[in-house]
Amino acid sequence: MTPVFHRVLRTRQETRDTFTIELEPPESTRASRFAPGQFNMLYVFGTGEVPISVSGNPARPQSLVHTVREVGAVTRAMRALKRGDVLGVRGPFGSSWPVEEAVGRDVVIVAGGIGLAPLRPALYAIMAEREKYGRLVLMYGTRTPDDILFRKELERWRARLDLSVHVTVDRAMASWRGSVGVVTTIIPRAHFDPRTALVMVCGPEAMMRFSILELQNRGVGIDQIYVSTERNMKCAIGFCGHCQLGPEFVCKDGPIFRYDRIQRTFEIREI
């Protein structure tokens, strides 16, 4: 439960309201191992503690990377931190994306907005052992072109011949030459085998609900779909009950669930 001090190595503005913060693990640990999809509790001293998924490369545990959207007091205070400042870290916590289970299958990744950040470690892990997987498809939707995260990296991935990258925006200005429309419009035409593919979905809840419906229309079974859920958290270790989603505790049973496990509660809005 005690936060471990980490020094800020650097911060980088990704979009108007989103930044990436890179932390240096203390001498005693030297490395911050995590599984793709897991999160840490980040404590800005004097302001508060919030759950944030790790967005870095699991093969590079020498620095701990998170990508954060500024929405309130703690995330704003985090953005104000400078190189050398200290942040408290508890974790990593929670379940992870099933990259091992996906071996030998097509992998489909559906991300909305900041939802690409928790999925990026899974992409790194799959690309590190690319030959073990079938087709790899990334579908990413944001509100506007200015909200696209990791733009340079997406361009590099798009240039690869072993990864299909589809990016779409809800609204665009005249200079945008890419797709316009919600991410669900890409699902019917993307190339993957719906009978065997493993699908990972992360984004706003409404986007995840519609993506799941569209995936089901393509013939993907709900036991092939994994989603990442978000609830307010306090302890992150299954004690306080703040994060309950029906019978599940998002902090310890989640945040990533196979969809058939949470379907009944997930379908209820505002639960």
Ligand X SMILES: Cc1cc2nc3c(=O)[nH]c(=O)nc-3n(C[C@H](O)[C@H](O)[C@H](O)COP(=O)(O)OP(=O)(O)OC[C@H]3O[C@@H](n4cnc5c(N)ncnc54)[C@H](O)[C@@H]3O)c2cc1C
Judged by beta carbon distances under 5 to 8 A according to partner kind, the member of ligand FES, ligand X, none in contact with residue 242 is: ligand FES
Closest separation between CB of residue 253 and ligand X, Å? 12
Report DSSP letters for 154-208, one per residue. Answer: HHHHHH-TT-EEEEEESS--TT--SEES-GGGTGGGS-S-TTT-EEEEES-HHHH
Closest separation between CB of residue 36 and ligand X, Å? 12
List residues binding ligand X (CB under 6 A). Answer: 39, 48, 50-53, 67-69, 71-75, 114, 117-118, 230-233, 255
Judged by beta carbon distances under 5 to 8 A according to partner kind, the member of ligand FES, ligand X, none in contact with residue 75 is: ligand X
Name the residue nearer to ligand FES (CB basis): 140 or 266.
266
Name the residue nearer to ligand X (CB basis): 145 or 254.
254
Judged by beta carbon distances under 5 to 8 A according to partner kind, the member of ligand FES, ligand X, none in contact with residue 50 is: ligand X
**Position 48: which residue type?**
G
Helix (H) or strand (E) segment spanning residue 5: strand 4-15
Report DSSP letters for 10-64, one per residue. Answer: EEEEEETTEEEEEEEPPTTT------TT-EEEEEETTTEEEEEEB-S-TT-TTSE
List residues binding ligand FES (CB under 6 A). Answer: 233-236, 238-243, 249, 251
**Position 29: which residue type?**
T
Judged by beta carbon distances under 5 to 8 A according to partner kind, the member of ligand FES, ligand X, none in contact with residue 118 is: ligand X
Contact 91, 38 (CB under 8 A): yes
Closest separation between CB of residue 75 and ligand X, Å? 3
Closest separation between CB of residue 148 and ligand FES, Å? 31
Judged by beta carbon distances under 5 to 8 A according to partner kind, the member of ligand X, ligand FES, none in contact with residue 57 is: none
User: 211 vs 38, 133, 168, 241, CA distance in Å?
Assistant: 22, 22, 14, 28
Name the residue nearer to ligand FES (CB basis): 183 or 233.
233
User: Is residue 224 classed as helix, strand or coil in its secondary structure?
Assistant: helix
Judged by beta carbon distances under 5 to 8 A according to partner kind, the member of ligand X, ligand FES, none in contact with residue 138 is: none
Closest separation between CB of residue 235 and ligand FES, Å? 4
Closest separation between CB of residue 56 and ligand X, Å? 11
Report DSSP letters for 116-158, one per residue. Answer: HHHHHHHHHHHHHTGGGSS-EEEEEEESSGGG-SSHHHHHHHH
